[in-house]
Amino acid sequence: MTQFSANLGFLWTELALPDAIRAAHTAGFDAVECHWPYDNNAQDVKAALDETGLKMLGLNTRRGDVAQGENGLAALVGREVDARAAIDEALAYAVEIDAAAVHVMAGFSSGIDAHTTFIDNLSYACNAALPLGKTILVEPLNRHDAPGYFLQTTDQARTIIETVSRPNLKLMFDCYHIGRTEGDVATRAKTLLPFIGHIQFASVPDRGPPDNGELDYWFLFSALDALGWTAPLGAEYKPNGDTDATLGWLKTLR
């Protein structure tokens, strides 16, 4: 049976993170994940995870100066100190709440120097994460939602993963982002399976619940099941209102 993780960066955002974890458990999710949990006391988050029995699959590094439009630091030339501080912070928080992975956000940049900077920072992240038993994730963002983001395609991500060549560096395979700009999501999942560390989903193109839009998730989830994927799939969609009112898909697609 397909398992699902609630991405609490989008779902139940009106609740504090510990209460959102409890809401996800009540709704029947098998795991949770989040974006930037740092304003929440880690002990409170861990207590909610222990209470519900849910696993926190992952969290993101900080975006940087959000007021100035930053969306990640790891590919920004000249910001290596800040990028590595964000990596250290994310790994420390992941240890406190027993989260499995950290998504290292690249940020808005381009060019060979940005590529080299990203490689160096990812190598640092992987080396720091390995003795902690943590996975480092990278995620391409589509050009419609995040124009100018450094990491834009799965081909680019695969090249970077192969270049860094660390066993704990994996691809965050977001069906929504890939569906928006690359398409052929099921085939790409099959081809990239050895590189994938986590899978997320939302409808294309509106990023709403997965029971509408261009992608047939009944087909896609069945294809992933046939490939032997057993880890929870991350529901990272925008509910456009009350989260509980959008969860009809959970029973249908499971």
Catalytic residue numbers, as ranges? 139, 236
Q: 49-53: which pairs have CB atoms within 8 A and are 24 or more residues apart?
A: 49/21, 49/97, 49/98, 51/22, 52/21, 52/22, 52/24, 52/25, 53/25
The whole-angstrom separation of Cα 202 and Cα 208 is 6
Q: Of 134, 130, 110, 106, give the one whose Cα is nearest residue 118.
A: 106
Q: Note whether 31 and 5 are within 8 A (CB).
A: yes
* Gap between the Cα atoms of 223 and 199, Å rounded: 13
